[in-house]
Amino acid sequence: MKCLVTGGAGFVGSHLIERLLMDQHSVICLDDFSTGKEENLVNIENEIEIIKSDIRDSDIIQEAIKDIDCIFHLAAQISVSRSVREPRFDASVNIEGMINLLEAIKDGSVKFIYISTGGAIYGEPESNPASESTLEKPISPYGLSKLVGEKYLQWFHSVYGLPYVIIRPANIYGPRQDPLGEAGVISIFLGKIKKNEPLEIFGDGTDTRDYVYVKDITEMCILAMHSSTIDTFNAGTGYQTNLLELINVIEHVTNSEVDKKFCDPRPGDVRYIALDSTKAYKQLGWKATTNITSGIQKTWEWFSSNQKI
């Protein structure tokens, strides 16, 4: 199959492209490299076509989708805190960019795999782990814009028959995640440890997240591409890990004792969240297989060997 991966030079996108190449698929990577990195593609750049452009450029999108069988849409503004500071920018990337893609393929039969978000869409669920039937209550512009993207995709399906799968991942982590970004607490913490800097904790450290390893997410993308189903699926482990527990695991893996700096909670951050992925297991045969200790160990090995961090 010929696949387009938007945001392909990013953390998750580059892992997905590698996985697609393993199965001998043809891949086009579309990325504006504002957060994606050329070094993420250094081992595969000769095996793919790279288009450097913004997803809000409709003319480029028209060129990129020629003869495409499947689109994996990962390009996004992913920072909750930035969405609070700059909601207009967040909406322009996450909603306008989404509509550009959908309008370009509405008359064809391109499969659309949308990497949405779990925690930011459900907000503060009444019970955990949250399932796909949990009420959607975004508490940040980021969660709201990703949910709006889902609704546009569903509308394009109802009107034009566009086939799709929506994946709502938990907090993804793994090698290549930017330790200097505003999202991805595990990578941020590992980057701080490598520099012998204190770890900033927003709140009292009891906030929980569901942490899912990047390779597990790429496997779900592959299953979604080959499935004939049209539906929305959570992608998480089902377990809540609070920040203090996470730091204990990180200290064990890195064989270090860290300093903690407690800060005020940030607006838009969810307090407690985990995702129930039973539906994905029943319909796609997917479940997360990497436990958090093993995943952080693999991530730390990458951090330790990367001289640029």
**Residue pLDDT, tens place only, 93-134:** 999 999 999 999 998 889 999 999 998 999 999 999 999 999
Q: What percent of the chain has pLDDT over 90?
A: 94
Confidence of residue 183 (pLDDT cuts 50, 70, 90): confident
- Answer yes or no: are the C-beta atoms of 142 and 268 closer than 8 Å: yes
pLDDT score for 181:
79
* Cα torsion angle, 70, 167, 202, 268, sign: positive
Cis ω before 129 (30° cut-off from 0): yes
Residue 88 has pLDDT above 80, yes or no: yes
**What pLDDT, in 10s, does the model give residues 128-177?**
999 999 999 999 999 999 999 999 999 999 999 999 999 999 999 999 99
What is the average pLDDT score of the chain? 95
pLDDT score for 130:
97
Verify whether residue 122 is a known catalytic residue.
no
- Answer yes or no: are the C-beta atoms of 92 and 141 closer than 8 Å: no
pLDDT score for 92:
97
Domains defined along the chain, listed by start = 2-172+212-238+275-289 (3.40.50.720)
User: 114, 122, 142, 173: which is the annotated catalytic residue?
Assistant: 142
Residue 307 has pLDDT above 90, yes or no: no
Q: Where are the alpha helices (DSSP H) in 65-213?
A: 80-85, 87-91, 97-105, 119-122, 141-160, 185-194
Give the span between the Cα atoms of 287 and 277, in whole angstroms.
7
Residues 6+ apart with CB under 8 A from 35: 10, 178, 181
- Tokens read off for 36: 């994606």
Q: Parallel, antiparallel, or unpaired for β 171-173 and 211-213?
A: parallel
